[in-house]
Amino acid sequence: MSMRQMELEVLRYDPEQDEAPRFQNYSVPCVDDWAILDALNYVKENIDTTLAYRWSCHMMVCGSCGMMVNGEPSLTCKTFIRDLPDHVRIEPLENFPIERDLVVVLDDVMEKLRMAKPFIIRKDPPPEDQEFTQSRAALYKFKQYTMCVNCMCCYAACPQYALDSSFIGPAVLALAHRYNLDSRDQGKAERLNLLADHDGVWECSFVGACSEVCPKSVDPAAAVQQMKIDGAKEWWKQKLGGGKS
Amino acid sequence: MEKITADVVIVGAGGAGLRAAIAIAESDPQLEVALISKVYPMRSHTCAAEGGAAGVKGADDSLENHFNDTVSGGDWLCDQEVVEYFVNQAPRELVQLEHWGCPWSREDDGSVAVRPFGGMKKKRTWYAADKSGFHILHTLFQTSLQFPTIKRFDEYFALELLHKNGKCRGVVAMEMRSGRFFSFQAPVVIMATGGGGQSFPFTTNGAIKTGDGMAMAYRAGVPLKDMEFVQYHPTGLPGTGILLTEGCRGEGGILVNKDGRRYLQDYGMGPETPIGEPVLKTMELGPRDRLSQAFWHEQKKGNTVETPWGDCVLLDMRHLGEKKINERLPLVRELASSYVGHDPVTDLVPVRPVIHFMMGGIDSNINGETPMPGLYAIGETACSGLHGANRLGSNSLTDLLVSGKRSADRAASYAKEAGKAVDDPAIDAQAEGVVTWVRELLQQQGGDESIAKIRREMKSALEDGAGIYRDEEGTLKACQQIAELRERYEKIEVHDKSNVFNTDLQQALELRNLLDVAETVAEASLQRRESRGAHQRLDYTERDDENYLKHSLAFRQPDGRPRIDWLDVTITRSQPGVRDYSGGKSE
């Protein structure tokens, strides 16, 4: 396996000591099939134990290790050395307050997740002692939106969230849409009331950056567009006295 | 130090912890639940489970079948009343999860699909492509968001149990963001912190799986049970140890050695079955312990393939075709292509056994109760006696649900009877003692030992001494090495002195937990002088029911190595017999 010396330029910030974020360089002997996360782990184990960042699964599913790699929001366990130049700049995800080094404050999106009511809402009871019947076609309607690992890379890419953090944002809207599309759910109207208001889907300027950076190929931009249509339909339905669906 | 009172404290917000929290919130909205986790719930390692969750489904299957597969799969070390309850409740819990929105894969008629899995006589593994654990975790987390009585404490690192007169009284935790300490006081603590696979060098387990709950209980005087039984999953990616699900073989993937031979037939799991037509409970669908042991023998014989990451065998899925692989095993394809550069659609994928799961854990019973009143344990952290000496794939995801629900019901009644926590200077002093210890560790200067070095040495001590095959000399050496490492641990230095998200300190605390777990694994491996399930001794090659049809219990000793006691196994209707994975050919 070939080795390559990489220069990592890593943002450091300890609110107890630093007045402002600064950069620190580490020279790391990297194996070609490493991911950026492996290089950070090398630093942590061998060069500087004080570097703070989040990670766990190292297999693209826990969503912990989202960071900016050369300016791109990336899941660092699936951003490979082989695809990068010798000098790499690593920063915390943009659009979030920095908690420490590469760790960002996620309170805002965690609270928004709750607001989206991301759970099955039923008016009728579910079938007793057996599962709902759901065709594959019905499953595939919402399945891609279940793939989100909440890495929040899409928030780091979103120009609207950058401008105004009251915008609910891509991952949470996609999640709400996932439940709206689920044939087992009856809560769409409840969610639309919330999501169609001024902080919701209408704020999206449809740049599509969220879908471009998503490491799991979820397409939040499409979800947002579909929700705009749903929201408009719902508005008309209520206006025309058709009641809530 | 800030004090937080609750009726129930749950430590760990993975599948088991979330299931328990929901059960308590549903059963009684008066009960306050404090759900503490060192990571955000969706980061919990449940997310990495791929293959699925077992529960009897088809008309051709029965609870009896699931019971028998589990008990023989566990080499008769299972407590059979626990297995019986588990197989009974499994379908109900999986349906419940479906009602909560889990995106299970579907059959043509729209019912939930099931796939074959190792050691299971019938198809009964419910799955969501190859991201079953991920979907289970997110479904539970999202469902939990509707309950206002579940109060989450995300990124709080639990340090130590609080207890008095033998009863559990709460837990001390540190908020990672601020470095502040909190005393959570409650009559009930449910441990749901997962296993400790990070005590080994090569593991599917995420970085967070450091045996925290096991170690906290152990230090509080609660024994750890059956710690010698550590499961190697036969198909990990070399280098990273990333899991390739048993579903690869369930869907028809085969294992071959360097000569292209399906070598499992040489280890009591043959005769060979037709390629692409997997037969249940034989060949590639044998149990994990047997498959991993077969690898060891192939390696000794020189039949493995050399790769840049070490010796491997080859997983061949090419005959499944691109469509099926994309539909059923998309993550496997992505992982194998990204991390070792082999696309299963066109290439053979190198794999080798990898540490995956701890059958052992905090001594608990069918209700999740431990010997300490008020302390409960569920999921991988616990050892209820469900898995015995070897867990069958897809039983553990279901166990998160079944044990989570059952123990929550019991814990809720206990909490109501016990009443709210009252001010107690003795408990406050105990909590202060923990904080003082952590502060001293943080401030300690001039230590010449590094956390990373001790961790590396601990990992290789366990792999060398308590790997797939073990013997007296090797396990004894591992016990001694770990005892030495514990002494050296006293001289570590935490270089990061910050209060804010101090991962250097966290790793030091996790290493302490791992050392506790490691010493019980090594000691119990030394003292079980027989071969059973995942515990194979080169010097005691047979199962010995006369002396060892017993659980081991490791008790912490203030000085020196743990003391091992033995506890009878509960047998109700299945007497120890022969594990037969010949596909019925030897019946």
pLDDT per position as a tens digit, A85-140: 999 999 999 999 999 999 999 999 999 999 999 999 999 999 998 999 999 999 99
List B249, B290, B328, B342, catalytic entry: B249
Return the domain boundaries, chain A. 3-104, 107-241
- Cα gap B410→A13, rounded to integer Å: 46
- Cα gap B80→A189, rounded to integer Å: 48
ipTM of the complex: 0.96
- Cα gap B278→B439, rounded to integer Å: 57
Q: Which CATH superfamily is domain A107-241 in?
A: Alpha-helical ferredoxin (1.10.1060.10)
Amino acid at the residue B516: D
Contact A119 B106 (CB under 8 A): no
B233 belongs to the catalytic site: yes
pLDDT per position as a tens digit, B391-447: 999 999 999 999 999 999 999 999 999 999 999 999 999 999 999 999 999 999 988
| Site from B47, B147, B306 to mutate, A interface, most A CB atoms within 10 angstroms | B47
Instruction: Indicate if A107-241 has the same CATH topology as A3-104.
Output: no
Residues of chain B in contact with residue A79, where contact means CB-CB under 8 angstroms, are none
B169 belongs to the catalytic site: no
Is residue A206 very low, low, confident or very high in pLDDT (cuts 50, 70, 90)?
confident
Hey, which CATH number is domain A3-104, 3.30.1390.20, 3.90.550.10, 3.30.70.260, 3.10.20.30? Answer: 3.10.20.30
Amino acid at the residue B422: V
Q: What is the dihedral of CA B264, B270, B273, B279, to 10 degrees?
A: -100
| Cβ atoms A227, A180 nearer than 8 A | yes
List B45, B169, B233, B406, catalytic entry: B233
- Cα gap B570→A113, rounded to integer Å: 45
Contact A120 B110 (CB under 8 A): no
| Site from A33, A44, A61 to mutate, B interface, most B CB atoms within 10 angstroms | A61
- Cα gap B520→B215, rounded to integer Å: 10
- Coil, helix or strand at residue A244: coil
| Cβ atoms A139, A131 nearer than 8 A | no
Q: Tens of pLDDT along chain B (587 residues)?
A: 999 999 999 999 999 999 999 999 999 999 999 999 999 999 999 999 999 999 999 899 999 999 999 999 999 999 999 999 999 999 999 999 999 999 999 999 999 999 999 999 999 999 999 999 999 999 999 999 999 999 999 999 999 999 999 999 999 999 999 999 999 999 999 999 999 999 999 999 999 999 999 999 999 999 999 999 999 999 999 999 999 999 999 999 999 999 999 999 999 999 999 999 999 999 999 999 999 999 999 999 999 999 999 999 999 999 999 999 999 999 999 999 999 999 999 999 999 999 999 999 999 999 999 999 999 999 999 999 999 999 999 999 999 999 999 999 999 999 999 999 999 999 999 999 999 999 999 999 988 899 999 999 999 999 999 999 999 999 999 999 999 999 999 999 999 999 999 999 999 999 999 999 999 999 999 999 999 999 999 999 999 999 999 999 999 998 889 999 999 999 999 999 999 999 877 54
Residue of B nearest to A64 (CA): B43
Residue of B nearest to A112 (CA): B145
CA-only gyration radius of chain A, Å: 21
As given in the structure block, the two tokens for residue A69 are 């790699």
- Cα gap B535→B520, rounded to integer Å: 14
DSSP A203: G
- How many angstroms separate the CA of residue B46 from the nearest CA in chain A? 9
CB pairs under 8 A between A and B: 156
Q: What is the DSSP string of A148-192?
A: -----HHHHH-HHHHH-TTS--HHHHHHHHHHHH-TT---HHHHH
As given in the structure block, the two tokens for residue A200 are 């919701």
Residues of chain A in contact with residue B25, where contact means CB-CB under 8 angstroms, are none
pLDDT per position as a tens digit, B233-281: 999 999 999 999 999 999 999 999 999 999 999 999 999 999 999 999 9
The reported pTM is 0.97
CA-to-CA dists, residue A77 to A58, A67, A215, B44, angstroms:
5, 10, 10, 16
As given in the structure block, the two tokens for residue B449 are 């030992």
- How many angstroms separate the CA of residue B237 from the nearest CA in chain A? 11
Interstrand relation of B349-358 and B310-316 (parallel, antiparallel or unpaired): antiparallel
State CA A101 to chain mean position distance: 19
